[in-house]
Amino acid sequence: MMVALYARVSTRKQDEAAQLPRLRSMAESRGYEVYHEYTDEASAKDANRPGWRALMQDASERRFDAVLVTKLDRVMRSLVQLNITMEDLQTYGVSLICADIGEIDLRSPMGKVQMQIIGAIAEWEREIIAQRTREGMEARRARGVRMGRRRRDDVPISAVAALRMDVRSWKSISDDLRIPKTTLLSRRAEVETAIAERSEKAPPSGEGSEREGASEPPVNI
């Protein structure tokens, strides 16, 4: 039997290489021939992830007989999307085999119930993870922890202010200083403050030249 191997990780901290050796060993022990290995680094709720999209395209052309995954949640965590995926695979005549539970046969009532139960648990786990993440972020905000990226400390506010006073655009300043435009705009308030301070310190037009002329000694002829 020709099979496709599929591995998915949510973040770079996880390792898809831990899934592939298990799937290769499973295919070899059962005498399956591997057509291709598909991988993704994306959330399971993203039904358009490139590796899975390529797999489903090849499945629609019946390039293999079954898809091997380590767990059902590697495919989808949304029960609705999982049902759609399983119906598509059934239409293509392609089976889904999970290393932890075996083949899911949607042609049988037991297989359908099995998929619904496992899919519901996977969706529940995803919601629990999302909820814990939100609660953790809210707790950190309550403690005054700054969220998001660290602010860059190498933005030359004074130089940016001088360039803005010369009527330079944000894009041209970004190109010259090699600092992303979005980063410059995030410090816009500081730049405008620096411009205001420079304007207050600058002498009125013509005032400097009048003082210089008054201080010059008379020329003896």
Which residues are catalytic, by number?
Answer: 10
Phi-psi region of 206 (alpha: psi -120 to 50; beta: other; left: phi over 0): left
H or E stretch at 164 = helix 157-165
**Cα–Cα dist 45/99, whole Å:** 21
Instruction: Give whole-number Cα distances, 24 to 9, 54, 95, 153, 218, in Å.
Output: 17, 19, 17, 48, 97
How many CA atoms lie within 13 Å of 75's alpha carbon, on the beta-carbon side?
A: 28
**Cα–Cα dist 115/87, whole Å:** 11
Task: Give the SS3 label for residue 126.
Answer: helix
**Exposed e or buried b per residue across 162-171, where buried means at least 16 C-beta atoms within 10 angstroms of its C-beta:** bbbeeeeebe
Closest CA to 71 of 118, 111, 10: 118
**Cα–Cα dist 127/104, whole Å:** 24
